Amino acid sequence: MNDAAQTADSLAPLLEVQSIGKSFLKPDGDALLVLDGVNLKLKRGEIVGLLGRSGSGKSTLLRLIAGLDTPSHGAVRYLGAPVEGPAPGISMVFQGFALFPWLTVLGNVQLGLEAMRLAPAEIRKRSLQAIDLIGLDGYESAYPRELSGGMRQRVGFARALVVHPNILLMDEPFSALDVLTAETLRNDFLDLWGRGELPIGAVLLVTHNIEEAVQMCDRLLIFSTHPGRVVSEIPIDLPQPREPLDPLVRALVDRVYVEMTARPRQGRDGARAERPTLVSIGTALEHVSTNLLAGLIEAVSEPPYEGRADLPAIAQALHMEADDLFPVAETLQLLHFAEVGGGDIRLTEAGLTFARSETDERKSLFARQLLAYVPLAAHVRRVLDERSSHRAPKSRFLDELEDHMAEEAAEQTLRAVISWGRYAEVFAYDDQRQVFTLENPQ
């Protein structure tokens, strides 16, 4: 880079996201606020992580930055100019590999350069360089179906790198890979990055994997859910390479867990609630199986935890990722089987009793908590009790829920209540006819 470019570069940040808001229209015509007041800056040479739960708007934010969608409020500025469409110099690696099956590795990588109007020889040269760099040497003429998941994602990386992007956006690039493959690819990436061999200015990495974020990033931004906001920023000033078991790395992982569990969930109106938002019939629920719920209660009740566990420790013991563990822990909290906060989960009296009980007693305890703390379950039961037929179609409740949430969330919420109600024998559900009944219970 020449001096003039360098000066210009130090004046304008590579990327600036200014008070971005994004809403989508729900089926009932209301707006669903997905991102609210999001600010971020990306400087040359840094890897910034965006960490948040599923549904917190991370992918939406990347799409806005990539110019694939437009914000409802605020602006994205790249090198000082507003982004108003796909910007050359910003490229993206996706979770799914998004390769064209009928093109070879070389063909897929060359696609990345198509918009740049380079001479064919130059396109070929740069593509082969990218392929070589990312460890695919010798696979140029292979087709995606002949490659393992890890190799396919290497193609995804090569296609993004080949344009020599100023900004590389990565949307959960390792999460479709098995653990070992993900680790290898992460380490290879960090190795190349550390040696300055990647033709990239800066990286924005979206992940729900806390360990991965702490291993890879210089700085983490933590997102809240409903709507997505940046609720905290954590600098990570540790040298590379970072060993997962290094106490300093563990301490940071713990701190991120605390940040991600200390925050109360926010109300639908976007107001920051002081306590967990009051649960109503219209509260969206995550579909967590009763097996997982019982499994977590058991794990926390047993030695060495005895009713209280550090979430990162229990996630590791259960071979679960944070993103999978949080909904389970939160559902236990919703049912008052546990309290979650400060990076810990503590079983309540009901949780401890559940752990000690046999199947039938567990079911009736679960039924009691379900009816007491999940208003939608109590509502379904009341409707069934009141009707002489003791039957009600699913659509009746679906319509009701769709006044409060998107169709997809309403479906998921009903699925959750159906599986919990069945387990607790509070009501039955006929999948074929799509009706709730009281056939089995009582």
| Residue 33: CB minimum distance to ligand ADP, A | 9
Residues 282, 403: contact at Cβ < 8 Å? yes
Question: Residues near 396 by Cβ (< 8 Å), separated by ≥ 6?
Answer: 383
| Residue 272: CB minimum distance to ligand ADP, A | 19
Nearer to Mg ion, 62 or 79 (CB): 62
Span near ligand ADP by CB under 6 A; candidates 53-61, 274-282, 323-331, 375-383 = 53-61
- Report the alpha-carbon angle 97-100-102, nearest 5: 140
Residues 192, 133: contact at Cβ < 8 Å? yes
Size of site (CB under 5 A) for Mg ion:
1
| Residue 264: CB minimum distance to ligand ADP, A | 19
Residue 167: which H helix or E strand, with range? strand 167-171
56 binds ligand ADP (CB under 6 A): yes
Its sign, for the CA torsion 421, 427, 429, 434, is negative
- C-alpha distance from residue 147 to each of 144, 184, 328, 336, 405 (Å): 5, 16, 35, 47, 41
Nearer to ligand ADP, 409 or 426 (CB): 409
Span near ligand ADP by CB under 6 A; candidates 55-63, 181-189, 252-260, 304-312 = 55-63
Size of site (CB under 6 A) for ligand ADP:
10
Distance CA 338, CA 305 (A): 13
59 binds Mg ion (CB under 5 A): yes
Nearer to Mg ion, 59 or 333 (CB): 59
Q: Name the amino acid, one letter, at 400.
A: E
Span near ligand ADP by CB under 6 A; candidates 58-66, 246-254, 318-326, 354-362 = 58-66
Answer with the entry of Mg ion, ligand ADP, none that 34 interacts with (C-beta below 5 to 8 A by kind): ligand ADP
Nearer to ligand ADP, 224 or 369 (CB): 224
Distance CA 189, CA 98 (A): 19
- C-alpha distance from residue 142 to each of 101, 182, 235, 259, 416 (Å): 10, 21, 41, 45, 44
Alpha-helix residue ranges (DSSP H) falling in 23-148: 58-65, 105-111, 120-133
| Residue 262: CB minimum distance to Mg ion, A | 23
| Residue 52: CB minimum distance to ligand ADP, A | 5
Alpha-helix residue ranges (DSSP H) falling in 162-207: 179-194
59 binds ligand ADP (CB under 6 A): yes
Nearer to ligand ADP, 34 or 167 (CB): 34
Answer with the entry of ligand ADP, Mg ion, none that 24 interacts with (C-beta below 5 to 8 A by kind): ligand ADP
DSSP string, 41-54: EE-TT-EEEEE--T
| Residue 121: CB minimum distance to Mg ion, A | 38
Nearer to Mg ion, 17 or 350 (CB): 17
The β-bridge partners of 2 are: none
- C-alpha distance from residue 326 to each of 52, 143, 167, 333, 376 (Å): 11, 38, 31, 10, 21
58 binds ligand ADP (CB under 6 A): yes
Out of 14, 48, 60, 284, the residue judged to bind ligand ADP by CB under 6 A: 60
Distance CA 334, CA 159 (A): 44
Span near Mg ion by CB under 5 A; candidates 53-61, 178-186, 310-318, 395-403 = 53-61
Out of 54, 72, 412, 419, the residue judged to bind ligand ADP by CB under 6 A: 54
Residue 74: which H helix or E strand, with range? strand 73-78
> Residues 404-433 vs ligand ADP: string with x where CB under 6 A?
------------------------------
Beta strands 435-437 and 428-430 are antiparallel
| Residue 356: CB minimum distance to ligand ADP, A | 37
| Residue 11: CB minimum distance to ligand ADP, A | 31
Q: Using DSSP, how many helices (H) and how many strands (E) does the chain show?
A: 16, 16
| Interface of this chain with ligand ADP, residues 15 to 44, rule: CB under 6 A | 24, 34
Span near Mg ion by CB under 5 A; candidates 17-25, 51-59, 183-191, 324-332 = 51-59
Residues in contact with Mg ion by CB under 5 A are 59
Residues in contact with ligand ADP by CB under 6 A are 24, 34, 52, 54-60
